Amino acid sequence: MSTSAMDRILAAQESIASWQDDLYLHFHRNPELSFVEHATHDKIADELSSMAGVEVVRNVGETGLVGVLRNGSGPTVLMRADIDGLPVRELTGLDYASTARGTSVDGEESAVMHACGHDVHITGLLSATRLLAENPDCWSGTFLALFQPAEERGGGAQKMVNDNLTERIPVPDVAFSQHVTPYPAGEVHACSGPAYSTADSIKVTVFGRGGHGSAPHTTIDPALLVSSIVLRLQGIVSREVRPGDFAVVTVGKIAVGNKVNIISDSGELQINVRSYSDSTRQRVLSAIERIVTAECEASGSPKPPTFEYFDQFPLTVNDGQVTERLQQAFAAEFGDWYTERPRSGGSEDFSHIPNAFGIPFCYWNVGGMDRETYKDAEKRGAVMSEIPMNHSPFFAPVMHPTLDAATKAILVAVLEWAPTA
């Protein structure tokens, strides 16, 4: 990599600063829910079309799109940003807070907020694309700016793949993605190996026999059955998963009955599972099915339980060689702001995209919290209680230096993989 090319393109960041701020404010104020990001798609397409040399491949998986920037010979580098917001009412108190409302793909109306910071990802990727388009002498190759819908529901990446993504854009050599985190703004971190956990959501329906609340002996009470299942499931992580292996089993929803003197005839549990290996995942899922089925039998259920799987995310495993090369490039350009952080327990569907092409990838993180506020909370041991996480109605990345770092990280990766000859 030529240092001067890097210096020149980083210096050009300043020239797009006010456009970048406006862009961020626009996306922050106009979030849209998963699979219905139509206005977001159109705005991104407009911005990409205004950049010299960028060809826009629209409506890949309906609301996904890709900007293709060909700049001579060299590797093809793909960078992905997810674009969806969440059904959260923003409570940050920022003067640019979202007041948007939206209707989900299931028809439910709610407030909408970029509570996971995907507006940072969109703005960072558009900014890097513009700088690469305006500074063609700083790199050589092809850049793919991929904007993916519906990360939050876990179906967006697969939807793009199913819509012939691999045939509609050049085949990349390497793929990247990034996420803004509740760490100090401007810091960048990337870890080798499993970076994001697998996730599975399961809707379990169990069956009893309904009746009068005064005559429990004539019924099979699903309330007792569901309660017993919740308690018994706690034994999976503590007794069946090897100590040290990561696994989470959370019962996020229980629903039985609707009146005090009626025993219901069925019950529902919604269970969320996370793990960092496919073998642990299989072990936990089969334990859940075994325990639920056995508890139903123990209660004398008239028919077996049903299991519906939804919102499933694959394991995100960063390629060792790619990550090591990226870590060195980040350390050189970010200095002390390149740090090590523990991996998050969150989940991602990004890997469906590189996996569809059969290419290696790295998913890195960029901090977004006000540095002073973070440092102060850290000093008092109050980070967990005072710094709002992604998905919180109070999650409020500071615009700078978060956007600068999110843009710079992409430029560093592209110039590392596709330098001028």
Closer residue to Zn ion (CB): 149 or 208? 149
In the three-class reduction of DSSP (H, G, I as helix; E, B as strand; rest coil), residue 318 is classed as: strand
Report in angstroms how near the CB of residue 258 gets to Zn ion at its nearest: 32
* Dist. CA 319–CA 195, nearest whole Å: 10
In the three-class reduction of DSSP (H, G, I as helix; E, B as strand; rest coil), residue 373 is classed as: helix
Q: Are strands 361-369 and 174-184 parallel, antiparallel or unpaired?
A: parallel
Closer residue to Zn ion (CB): 194 or 419? 194
* Token output for 151: 């990360």
Closer residue to Zn ion (CB): 157 or 226? 157
* Dist. CA 50–CA 40, nearest whole Å: 16
List binders of Zn ion among 173-192 (CB under 5 A). Answer: none
Q: Taking CB positions, which residue lies at the least distance from Zn ion? A: 116
Report in angstroms how near the CB of residue 347 gets to Zn ion at its nearest: 9
Is 116 a binder of Zn ion (CB under 5 A)?
A: yes
Report in angstroms how near the CB of residue 104 gets to Zn ion at its nearest: 15
Rounded to the nearest 10°, the torsion over CA 204, 105, 24, 352 is: 60
Choose the binding region for Zn ion from 110-118, 229-237, 363-371, 394-402 (rule: CB under 5 A): 110-118
* Dist. CA 124–CA 5, nearest whole Å: 19
Q: Is 385 exposed, middle or buried (0-12, 13-18, 19+ CB in 10 A)?
A: exposed
Q: Where are the alpha helices (DSSP H) in 65-207?
A: 118-134, 156-162, 165-168
Report in angstroms how near the CB of residue 117 gets to Zn ion at its nearest: 7
Choose the binding region for Zn ion from 39-47, 91-99, 108-116, 142-150 (rule: CB under 5 A): 108-116
Other CB atoms within 10 A of residue 177 CB:
28
Report in angstroms how near the CB of residue 90 gets to Zn ion at its nearest: 15
Report in angstroms how near the CB of residue 318 gets to Zn ion at its nearest: 17
Closer residue to Zn ion (CB): 116 or 362? 116
In order of 210, 231, 255, 262, 264, the CA distances from 215 in angstroms are: 10, 25, 21, 10, 12
Choose the binding region for Zn ion from 58-66, 113-121, 129-137, 301-309 (rule: CB under 5 A): 113-121
| Contact status, residue 361 vs residue 175, Cβ threshold 8 Å | yes
Report in angstroms how near the CB of residue 35 gets to Zn ion at its nearest: 15
Beta bridge partners of 50: none
Closer residue to Zn ion (CB): 116 or 329? 116
Report in angstroms how near the CB of residue 363 gets to Zn ion at its nearest: 11
Is 81 a binder of Zn ion (CB under 5 A)?
A: no
Angle, alpha carbons 88-92-95 (nearest 5°)? 115
Closer residue to Zn ion (CB): 116 or 144? 116
Give the up-direction half-sphere exposure of residue 201: CA atoms within 13 A in the CB hemisphere.
Answer: 13
Report in angstroms how near the CB of residue 115 gets to Zn ion at its nearest: 7
Sheet strands side by side (includes 64-71): 54-60, 64-71, 141-148, 76-82, 174-184, 361-369, 188-189
Closest C-alpha among 224, 203, 206 to residue 296: 206
Choose the binding region for Zn ion from 70-78, 115-123, 125-133, 317-325 (rule: CB under 5 A): 115-123
Give residues with Cβ within 8 angstroms of 173, minimum separation 6.
75, 76, 77, 359, 417
Is 150 a binder of Zn ion (CB under 5 A)?
A: no
Closer residue to Zn ion (CB): 86 or 399? 86
Closer residue to Zn ion (CB): 283 or 352? 352
Closer residue to Zn ion (CB): 127 or 181? 181
Choose the binding region for Zn ion from 2-10, 48-56, 111-119, 332-340 (rule: CB under 5 A): 111-119
Closer residue to Zn ion (CB): 41 or 283? 41
* Dist. CA 362–CA 208, nearest whole Å: 48
Q: How many residues bind Zn ion (CB under 5 A)?
A: 1
DSSP-derived secondary structure letter, 131: H
Choose the binding region for Zn ion from 66-74, 109-117, 131-139, 327-335 (rule: CB under 5 A): 109-117
Report in angstroms how near the CB of residue 87 gets to Zn ion at its nearest: 12
Report in angstroms how near the CB of residue 357 gets to Zn ion at its nearest: 22
Q: Which residues bind Zn ion (CB under 5 A)?
A: 116
